[in-house]
Structure 1
Amino acid sequence: MNTDQLNRMHSAPGFIAALDQSGGSTPRALKAYGIDEDAYGDDKDKMFDLVHEMRARIITSPSFTAAHILASILFEQTMDREIEGLPTADFLWERKGIVPILKIDKGLEDETDHVRVMKPIPGLDETLARARDQKHIFGTKARSVILDADEAGVARIVDQQFEIGNQVRAAGLVPILEPEVDIHAPDKEKAEDQLHAGIRELIDGLPEDARIMLKLTPPTKDDLYADFIADPKVVRVAALSGGYSRHDANEILSRNHGLIASFSRALSEGLSVDQSAEDFDATLASSIVSIYQASIS
């Protein structure tokens, strides 16, 4: 792994920009950006061209810099495309000083035991090798969802997350484990306590030289994850916005010391395809600064 990138992820101030909307969430992201489905219809290639243009516009913005942003999470198609003649990950690191991370999950299974585990990830070892050797990716991200407190379900989520994480670590990359707790879970606080206990046990079982990251829903109890943030095996702990508005997500984040943002929808909130370059950059700059301030609390 790249030592400079590891040091930056571990100790530099800033947050993670999540630009990893995949096939299922891309239409929503485009609609929020002002592009309706009739602009591409059933043409998936056109849809992905449009969302890459949106992501490239964000990444190349003068506001999108290492002064506030530590890393960016990419969809696999984004990793495989170019920005200004460079592979996206190389553009991020070489031109911007921002660490590139790859989303590797392929979506979620149907709900059982109040959770949705990840679908199988075919060819993962090959993807990891290509991401590491050809695309110069630092780490990965994989998401699953907890819908309510359920010991058996939460245990399945944690076990799967660490199993995938161990596979990523074996490939020489740093995994972000993302067991999201739905913000509308009827007993969110209990689910988070169960999740904390499960993660704590498996972190304690990792070898001393293991390095992982965590991406978690902002907890109901402030500083619930403080022990993870302090753990030498944990490079960084980030919070997803989870459906909160940017204002609310920032407010909750600022109460959790050492927890940084890894926002997607909240980052791009207010951006529009029809904005002038000046308005686009100003809107993005305002979002970035507000998220950064909440992340350095």
Structure 2
Amino acid sequence: MNTKQLDRIRTGKGFIAALDQSGGSTPKALLQYGIKENSYSNEEEMYAMVHEMRTRIIKSSAFDSQYILGAILFENTMDRSIDGQFTADYLWEKKGIVPFLKVDKGLADLEHGVQLMKPISGLDDLLKRAAQRNIFGTKMRSVIKEANPAGIKKVVEQQFAIGNQIAQMGLVPIIEPEVDIHSADKEASEKLLKDELFDQLSSLGKDVKVMLKLAIPTKDNFYSDLMEDPHVVRVVALSGGYTQAEANEKLAHNHGLIASFSRALSEGLTAGQTDDEFNAMISKSIQDIYEASIK
């Protein structure tokens, strides 16, 4: 583990950019960026276009370590280059931004009010490649739709079982049990989730470090005590379908919670914008998300 990167993620001022839509969510991300599905004829062309979009974001002068601590990539982006350097190396060496990798293979069907992760085949091999590509940490997402104690327990147990596997390979896992923002009993789910998180944190080996990525809580500062746990490097928030303005407003009420936004970060960016327009838009977004993160 790179101690310089660990220190930056633990103590730095700023937020984490999530540039990790993959598989089924890539067409949606491209559509939001103004590229229609008839613009590419196969997966390879689609991934080339999404890499162009991400390269444009990463190379923007606004995408700067003054505001951004880390960036989450997905496997295809990790394996591609920016200006002749693998993406993770470009991020860290040229930008001073810590690279993470999304490792999950998507969600299983809804059961017990939750969606567990699908099995992650070949995870050890992927983690070895990630380590070779100088990736610092990983991210994996499950979803909680209802305050079902058995379901929530399963989600957290699965996250930590795989998180331990990731930590053994020298990477820092971002544990992401997302409570659906539209859930009718979101606050009750958050209470159950917090108890399960503490339970799993207490069983970790002394030197194991994790990060937590959670929906912005219904009750302000509800996750403050998780931030104090010695195993927890940082607690970050997902935008979860809120608009950027809504997400920022809610985030600003949670001291110490920083953003790890995906859709809310790329909101308003389009392929048709001139570089000046694009940079002005992303610069304002980054500034606003940063301000909400440091409150």
TM-score (norm 1): 0.98
Q: What's the secondary structure of 1:164's corresponding residue?
A: helix
Give the C-alpha shift of residue 208 in structure 1: 2.4
Name the residue aligned to 1:269: 267
Question: How far apart in 1 are the matches of 2:207 and 2:273?
Answer: 47
Question: How far apart in 2 are the matches of 1:71 and 1:39?
Answer: 31
Q: Which runs of 5+ in 1 are unaligned?
A: none
Name the residue aligned to 1:39: 39
Q: Which amino acid aligns with 1:26?
A: T
Superposed CA deviations along residues 236-283 of structure 1, whole A, max 9, x for unmatched, are 000000000000000110111100000000000010101011110000
Q: Which amino acid aligns with 1:276?
A: T
Name the residue aligned to 1:207: 205
Name the residue aligned to 2:112: 113
Which deviates more from structure 2 when the two are superposed, residues 204-213 or residues 277-286?
A: 204-213
Name the residue aligned to 1:193: 191
Give the C-alpha shift of residue 40 in structure 1: 1.1
Aligned 1:1-297 pairs, distance under 5 A: 1-41=1-41, 43-132=42-131, 134-297=132-295
Q: Which amino acid aligns with 1:34?
A: G
How well do the aligned residues superpose, as a CA RMSD in angstroms? 0.6
Q: Which amino acid aligns with 1:278?
A: D
Q: What's the secondary structure of 2:23's corresponding residue?
A: coil
Q: Which amino acid aligns with 2:137?
A: G
Give the C-alpha shift of residue 207 in structure 1: 2.3
Q: Which runs of 5+ in 2 are unaligned?
A: none
Q: Which runs of 4+ in 1 moved over 3 A?
A: none
Q: Which amino acid aligns with 2:40?
A: Y
Give the C-alpha shift of residue 10 in structure 1: 0.2
Superposed CA deviations along residues 131-176 of structure 1, whole A, max 9, x for unmatched, are 11x2000000000000111001000000000001000000010000
Question: How far apart in 1 are the matches of 2:70 and 2:245?
Answer: 21
Question: How far apart in 2 are the matches of 1:231 and 1:14?
Answer: 20
Give the C-alpha shift of residue 96 in structure 1: 0.2
Question: How far apart in 2 are the matches of 1:74 and 1:67?
Answer: 19
Q: Which amino acid aligns with 2:153?
A: A
Question: How far apart in 1 are the matches of 2:166 and 2:60?
Answer: 31
Identity of aligned residues (%): 58
Aligned length: 295
Superposed CA deviations along residues 70-111 of structure 1, whole A, max 9, x for unmatched, are 000001000000001100000000000000000000001100
Question: How far apart in 1 are the matches of 2:237 and 2:11?
Answer: 16
Question: How far apart in 2 are the matches of 1:103 and 1:19?
Answer: 9
Q: Which amino acid aligns with 2:23?
A: G
